[in-house]
Amino acid sequence: MLCFLRGMAFVPFLLVTWSSAAFIISYVVAVLSGHVNPFLPYISDTGTTPPESGIFGFMINFSAFLGAATMYTRYKIVEKQNQTSYFSTPVFNLVSLVLGLVGCIGMGIVANFQELAVPVVHDGGALLAFVCGVVYTLLQSVISYKSCPQWNSLSTCHVRMAISAVSCAAVVPMIACASLISITKLEWNPKEKDYIYHVVSAICEWTVAFGFIFYFLTFIHDFQSVTLRISTEINDDV
């Protein structure tokens, strides 16, 4: 059986494939439509103008849902592992989940409020998504080390921490350079004074976004041994 069909592994697998498709499809449609420059647009630039805005909004909304489902399942996995063999305070796991869910809400805001229509709301959602997402990966990496070697291999821990470190290093210049840009626009000229800030910020944004994708890819193995059960109870006295 394929590894992503075992247990709950299909959840992070679907999150990774769907989110990758969302970024790539929106980018291709935006470029072919002539709405953005093929060289390093912001991710949000590829979802600002119809028809790609509809594609981007729909797919990122579903990615936010899948992200929340993946994070909650991960939370329950760590909770059960910790009950079996104590390795970390439960509060640490809970804080990680809350931050992750806030990041998913940020994704929903980004998907539903285009950057040119309501830039303040859009940028606020992006800030939530990226900052909370990076902190989530860092906390999960620490949890992975604490649960090693019983629940995680050392190599998996190293991969997760490396991705977290790269994402953390990229999110700082992404925010700093974006804050220095004086105007929100889709078309950029290399001769403009803010162009270098745009390029650096865009590179960092794509780095962090795909960092998240590769990070959730490491969850597939952990989710293979998880089974979801839904229990229904009917009270006769109601």
Confidence of residue 233 (pLDDT cuts 50, 70, 90): confident
Q: What angle do the packed helices 52-84 and 119-146 form, to 10 degrees?
A: 30
C-alpha angle 47/105/216, rounded to 5°? 80
Q: What is the pLDDT of residue 159?
A: 96
Q: Find tokens 């290093």 and name the residue.
A: 169
pLDDT tens-digit map of 18-52: 999 999 999 999 999 989 988 889 999 999 889 99
pLDDT tens-digit map of 170-201: 999 999 999 998 887 888 888 888 899 999 99
Mean pLDDT score, 116-143: 94
Is the pLDDT score of 1 beyond 60?
no
Q: What is the pLDDT of residue 3?
A: 61
Mean pLDDT score, 81-91: 88
Dist CA 221 CA 226 (whole Å): 10
Is the pLDDT score of 238 beyond 60?
no
Dist CA 233 CA 221 (whole Å): 32
Q: What is the pTM of this model?
A: 0.92
- Per the CB < 8 A criterion, the answer to whether 12 and 223 are in contact is yes
